[in-house]
C-alpha cells in the first residue's frame, strides 16, 4: 500500500496492483487510494467478472500473459489428445481457416 500511495503522490495517473492475494485485498487497495487501480487478472481476481472487479473499485483490468498462456494450453490439450487417444475432439469449435485469415487481415 505504501508504494501505491507513493506513486499516487508522485502524480501517477493510474496505479497498478498485480497479484493481490485476496478479494478483500482488492477492495482494500482500491478504496485506500484516490487514483484508478489496475488489477491483474490472476489469483483471486480470476474468480470474479469484470463487473465484480469494478464493484470492488478496480477501474482497469490487465490480462498480462493470460491470453497467450490460454492459447498454449489449448494447443497442448489438442496435441495430447491426438497423441494419446488419436481423436480430435479438442479441435471442434476452432476458428475456420477463413476466419483466422480474416482476423489477420484486420479491419
DSSP string, 41-102: S-GGGGGS-HHHHHHHTEEEEE-TTHHHHHHHHHHHHHHHHHHHH---GGGTTPPPHHHHHH
CA distance 17 to 5: 11
What pLDDT is stored for residue 62 in this prediction?
Answer: 96
In eight-state DSSP terms, residue 20 is -
The pTM of the full predicted model, rounded to 2 decimals, is: 0.80
pLDDT beneath 70, residues of the chain: none
So what's the pLDDT on residue 1?
76
Question: Which pLDDT belongs to residue 17?
Answer: 87
Amino acid at each position: 500500500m505504501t508504494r501505491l500511495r507513493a506513486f499516487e503522490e508522485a502524480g501517477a495517473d493510474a496505479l497498478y496492483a498485480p497479484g493481490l492475494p485476496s478479494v478483500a485485498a482488492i477492495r482494500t487497495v482500491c478504496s485506500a487510494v484516490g487514483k484508478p487501480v489496475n488489477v491483474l487478472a490472476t489469483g483471486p481476481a480470476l474468480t470474479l467478472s469484470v463487473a465484480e472487479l469494478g464493484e470492488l473499485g478496480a477501474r482497469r483490468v490487465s490480462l498480462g500473459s493470460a491470453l497467450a498462456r490460454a492459447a498454449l494450453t489449448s494447443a497442448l490439450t489438442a496435441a495430447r489428445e491426438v497423441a494419446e487417444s488419436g481423436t480430435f475432439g479438442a479441435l471442434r469449435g476452432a476458428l475456420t481457416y477463413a476466419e483466422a485469415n480474416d482476423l489477420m487481415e484486420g479491419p
